Structure 1
Amino acid sequence: MTETQIFDLLRQGLWVAVLISAPLLTVALVAGVVVGLFQALTSIQEMTLTFVPKAGLMLVVFWVSMSFMTTTLVAFFTDTIVPRIAGG
């Protein structure tokens, strides 16, 4: 395996990581902005108010997008990693 192939494989792996983490990170960002805006407007500075909605929403999104994440990882492994290990 050449250096170029290794860098290409690394690039593909990083892109798969971005695709898989995007739903969770997007929900965390949106929930954080909404809760922060709510706290700024109401002057409520409760620490659990920032954590509980974010954790709950991320758990729901993880449960909903779990099949997408699994399918993406399995496709990357079977279509990219296994042929490289087999020498293809």
Structure 2
Amino acid sequence: MSELVLYDTLRQGLWIAVVISAPMLSVALVTGVVIGLFQALTSVQEMTLTFVPKLGAMLAVFWVSMSFMTEALVEFFTAGLVPLIAGG
């Protein structure tokens, strides 16, 4: 395997990781900003108020996007890594 193939496979793997994690990270960001704004406006400084809704929103998005994540990973492995391992 040449360095070019290795770097291209690594680049594809990192891009898949970005694409798969983007929905959960964006929901965590939006939820955190909304709750932070709510806390700033109401002067409520409870730590669980930040953690619990963010965790719930991330779990909901994970549950909804789990099939997309699985399909993306399976496609990457079957089309990208398995042929390299098999020598094709």
Mark yes or no: TM-score above 0.5: yes
Equivalent residue for 2:65? 65
How do 1:3-82 and structure 2 match up within 5 A? 3-82=3-82
Cα deviation 1:10-40 (Å, max 9, x = unaligned): 0000000001000100000000000000000
Question: Stretches of 4+ moved more than 4 A in 1?
Answer: none
Paired AA for residue 38 in structure 2? F
- Tell me the SS of whatever aligns to 2:44: coil
Give the TM-score normalised by the residue count of structure 2.
0.98
Cα deviation 1:19-63 (Å, max 9, x = unaligned): 100010000000000000000000100000000000000000000
Number of matched pairs: 88
5+ unaligned residues in a row in structure 2: which ranges? none
Q: CA–CA distance in 2 between the matches of 1:37 and 1:83? A: 49
Letter in 2 for 1:33: V
Structure 1: give runs of 5+ residues left out of the alignment. Answer: none
Q: TM-score, normalised by structure 1?
A: 0.98
CA RMSD for the aligned pairs?
Answer: 0.4
Q: Identical aligned pairs, as a percentage? A: 74
